[in-house]
């Protein structure tokens, strides 16, 4: 689990809810038609930009990735791959059959080796899988970006609709305040959706993209080197070159 995403999102909503309770009743902040305009309208305007089939899955993938844990750190991946290389050196590809592997992509690669597939086949299959996953990630990003743009726009549209209705019927002065309060709710909803969910998720997915690209490329290269029967020491040395300077320094400290 990526605690930062969850803590941040729940925390931000919690803070706003607390502030609402401190100031009065929570009920006056719930208005179903207002939600309909902002969430429904924002989703519809997002829909226009994409293919019908892409939207649902992209939302799901985007959200899942955003709250998913980091998986094994590059440091752990390298030592795991080095261990696997040692096993193959000792007992051949068949030695991998019953090994427990933490990362699903690495597990798949290990299975390929155990099954005796050709180097070229493993490379192509794993790279295709990686590209597919990265494409889904960047589509998820684009969709949250579109919703983050259109939700505040529909918030404003909803407020304008409410203002026009209030202004056209000002016979009862006592109703002006509450009507205007309701009119402002759509703007509030739009701001919450955009600033608590969409904009931060877009930046999170952006960062995850880079991390995933690195670790999956590292795994693919490691699997290929195991397949080629390279010595564990050599594998380790080559994989460390993938790490950014910062992680390499931590690795050196830990050593």
Select the span of 57-65, 105-113, 176-184, 227-235 touching its own copies (CB under 8 A): 176-184
Q: Which residue, 7 or 94, has its beta carbon nearer to its own copies?
A: 7
200 binds its own copies (CB under 8 A): yes
Rule CB under 8 A: say whether 204 interacts with its own copies. yes
Shortest distance, position 125 Cβ to its own copies, whole Å: 9
Q: Which of residues 119-158 bind its own copies (CB under 8 A)?
A: 127-129, 131-132, 135, 146, 149-150, 153-154, 156-158
Instruction: For residue 28, state whether it binds its own copies (rule: CB under 8 A).
Output: yes
Contact 226, 84 (CB under 8 A): yes
**Binding string, 64-103, against its own copies, x = CB under 8 A?**
------x---------------------------------
The smaller minimum CB distance to its own copies, of residues 88 and 185, is found at: 185
244 binds its own copies (CB under 8 A): yes
Interaction between residue 241 and its own copies (CB under 8 A):
no
- Rank residues 34 and 82 by Cβ distance to its own copies and give the closer one: 34
Residue number, 33 or 95, with CB nearest to its own copies: 33
Q: Which of residues 211-230 bind its own copies (CB under 8 A)?
A: none
Alpha carbon distance 192, 204 (integer Å): 17
Least distance CB 191 / its own copies (angstroms): 5
Cα dihedral 24/25/27/28 (nearest 10):
-30
The span from the CA of 30 to the CA of 216, in Å, is: 44
Least gap, CB of 16 to its own copies (angstroms):
6
Q: 94, 164, 233, 234: which one contacts its own copies (CB under 8 A)? A: 164
Contact call for residue 30 and its own copies (CB under 8 A): no
* Residue 107 Cβ vs its own copies, minimum distance, rounded to whole Å: 19
């Amino acid at each position: 689990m990526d605690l930062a995403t969850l803590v941040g999102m729940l925390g931000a909503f919690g803070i706003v809810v607390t502030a609402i309770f401190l100031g009065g009743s929570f009920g006056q902040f719930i208005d179903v038609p207002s939600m309909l305009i902002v969430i429904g309208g924002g989703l519809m305007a997002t829909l226009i930009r994409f293919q019908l089939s892409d939207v649902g899955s992209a939302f799901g993938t985007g959200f899942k990735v955003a709250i998913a844990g980091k998986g094994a750190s590059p440091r752990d991946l390298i030592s795991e791959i080095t261990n696997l290389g040692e096993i193959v050196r000792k007992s051949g590809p068949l030695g991998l059959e019953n090994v427990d592997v933490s990362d699903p992509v690495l597990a798949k690669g290990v299975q390929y080796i155990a099954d005796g597939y050709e180097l070229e086949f493993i490379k192509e299959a794993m790279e295709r899988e990686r590209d597919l996953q990265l494409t889904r990630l960047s589509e998820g990003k684009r969709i949250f970006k579109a919703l983050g743009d259109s939700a505040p726009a529909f918030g404003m549209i909803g407020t304008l609709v409410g203002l026009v209705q209030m202004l056209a019927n000002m016979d009862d002065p006592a109703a002006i305040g509450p009507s205007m309060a309701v009119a402002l709710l759509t703007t509030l909803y739009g701001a919450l959706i955009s600033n608590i969910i969409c904009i931060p998720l877009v930046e999170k997915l952006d960062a995850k993209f880079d991390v995933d690209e690195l670790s999956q490329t590292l795994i693919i290269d490691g699997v290929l080197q195991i397949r080629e029967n390279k010595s564990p020491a050599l594998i380790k040395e080559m994989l460390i070159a993938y790490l950014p300077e910062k992680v390499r320094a931590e690795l050196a400290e830990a050593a």
